[in-house]
Structure 1
Amino acid sequence: MTSDEASRLSSEQLAQALRLVRGADSVELKVSVPDVDRRSAIAALEMDPLEAQMRQVVFFDTPDLTLNQHGVVVRARRIQRKSGDSVIKLRPLDPERIPDATRNVPGFSVEVDAMPGGFVCSGSLKAAAGDSIIKDVVAGRSPVRKLFSKDQRALYAAHAPAGVKLDELAVLGPIAVHKLKFAPADYGRRLVAELWTYPDGSRILELSTKCSIDEAFQVAAETRAYLSGRGINMLAEQQTKTQTALRFFAEELAASGPGSGAAAS
């Protein structure tokens, strides 16, 4: 968040942002690029698509996205040439209200995502997940719970709506993602580009960089200036990868009829 963006927030919103950042472990600054500007952005930032890593992301929720409505995101991810992972994410989240039992779970992290005009705090618990088990779950050959560790299942049970069991969740996806890490010589920090390509051909290109909570506002200002100077429209309407994916696959599931896309238990 930059000084320009901060000026558009109310005093109450700015105070909330500062409080969330103080309670987080890290800050990730994000901006989505309109698809009409995607090619020019890639050229302006001299991104090399051949250096991108292929990923496959799948979400799990009820057909009517009950988990999402209650601030719980359940996700697994296959990664080219690396072991995959699974994540239970709570969003939005107030760091001051996280129970010590949750905050002290090894691997649990709190992050503030800041984008032009807004911010959100989330808590995530990640665990390794092999390709074979992810493929088996997506295909319905294994129950969803097999993707998650004991600590992840406990976190899910504590925050998911009553009666919504992991093994009864529908498979939403997968979706193809290309991720590129690069460090422009005239920027001085590493940037990450993620291109999410949805089955209907629509795309979201997101640029991001992570920083510590102590340098968040300085890095935000520097990043905005750098991207604006390369022709990136920082005032464009922002799209969120996860919300777009959830809506897309939920609508696809509804169109395919009852019982389609549910994981086997």
Structure 2
Amino acid sequence: MGGDDLDRMFTLVREVGHVELKFTIDDASYEAVRAALGGGSERIRNVYYLDTPDLTLRHHGVLVRLRGGQRPNDSVVKLRPIDPGCVPHSIRRCADFAVEVDLTPDSFICSGALKRRLGRNAVERAVDNGEPLRRLFSEQQLLLLASRMPEHLTVDDLDALGPVEVHRTRSRYDGPGGGLELQEWTYPDGSRLLEVSTRCVAEHLLQTAAHAKAFLDRHGIAQSGPCPTKADATLAYFTRQ
């Protein structure tokens, strides 16, 4: 990043306090990253994003995600980008609302996400049976979504784009930020997106980034060039089919 971008990034990180560092991994490094991080616990999730065929929500800075699979399911309404100083107090004080800066080697963005935990199989049951999707969201989530969504749309008008099978493996590597996590997003045609990530507080950003980068270099894990986020890659995949 250039100097001005770095200054803005550090100012935002200090204001928000929480960072997720993300490294998109070149597909040629799949075996290397699996060998380096494959010794930890693995979780499998099925991920859907809700939007219109022309991605109306995404163009309005909204991401709506559903996660099913092995563990208790959840729904998330995420605003990205977001100005943390403009979030209504009623939302910021909600225990399930989190503001975070996503940081890659060449970019950063701030997002705010409101999550609702759901029972097992709630997502697949609703999607497969054609049940109203609004039942998967809390009243606060629906209000947050309505603040960005065009008035003529409701949650039940949205398409469930997916699923993508996501394998999440947390390594036993004990570095700053609580360790590294590998996410493998596999699409229906067999293509995949590989991402290594870790979280930290603002005070540990430089140390955590250096630790993570050194770990990847030590294991011969190559990063790919600039890449869309997992959400944007998934939305693009399912709307061009």
- Shared fold (TM-score greater than 0.5)? yes
Give, in whole Å, the separation in 1 of the partners of 2:142 and 2:32: 43
Structure 2 residue 61 is the aligned partner of structure 1 residue 71: yes
Match of 1:47 among 38, 46, 52: 38
Give the TM-score normalised by the residue count of structure 1.
Answer: 0.84
Q: Which runs of 5+ in 2 are unaligned?
A: none
User: Would you say the 8 A contact 1:194–1:205 is kept in 2?
Assistant: yes
Q: Which residue does 1:261 correspond to in 2?
A: none
Distance 1:46 1:112, change over 3 A: closer
Q: Which residue does 2:131 correspond to in 1?
A: 142
Matches within 5 A, 1:74-153: 74-80=64-70, 82-153=71-142
- Aligned-pair distance for 1:197? 0.2
Of all paired residues, the percent bearing the same amino acid is 38
User: Would you say the 8 A contact 1:54–1:178 is kept in 2?
Assistant: yes
Q: Which residue does 1:218 correspond to in 2?
A: 207
Give, in whole Å, the separation in 2 of the partners of 1:193 and 1:235: 15
Give, in whole Å, the separation in 1 of the partners of 2:130 and 2:223: 44
Give, in whole Å, the separation in 1 of the partners of 2:37 and 2:76: 32
Deviation >4 Å, runs of 4+ = none
Aligned residue type for 1:62: T
Give, in whole Å, the separation in 2 of the partners of 1:70 and 1:162: 12
Match of 2:15 among 23, 28, 41: 23
Give the TM-score normalised by the residue count of structure 2.
Answer: 0.92
| Structure 2 SS opposite 1:146 | helix
Distance 1:115 1:28, change over 3 A: same
Aligned residue type for 1:204: L
| Structure 1 SS opposite 2:211 | helix
Distance 1:25 1:161, change over 3 A: farther
- Aligned-pair distance for 1:215? 1.1
Give, in whole Å, the separation in 2 of the partners of 1:88 and 1:209: 21
User: Would you say the 8 A contact 2:19–2:101 is kept in 1?
Assistant: yes
User: Would you say the 8 A contact 1:204–1:239 is kept in 2?
Assistant: no
Q: Is the radius of gyration larger for structure 1 or structure 2? A: 1
Give, in whole Å, the separation in 2 of the partners of 1:235 and 1:105: 37
Give, in whole Å, the separation in 1 of the partners of 2:62 and 2:168: 24
User: Would you say the 8 A contact 2:54–2:239 is kept in 1?
Assistant: yes
Worse-superposed segment, 242-251 or 219-228: 219-228
User: Would you say the 8 A contact 2:25–2:224 is kept in 1?
Assistant: no
Q: Which runs of 5+ in 1 are unaligned?
A: 1-7, 253-265
Deviations, residues 204-261 of structure 1 (Å, cap 9, x unaligned) = 1110111112211221122212222221224633342111111111112xxxxxxxxx
Deviations, residues 91-137 of structure 1 (Å, cap 9, x unaligned) = 01111222222222231110111111111110000011223431232
Match of 1:61 among 51, 66, 85: 51
Distance 1:14 1:46, change over 3 A: closer
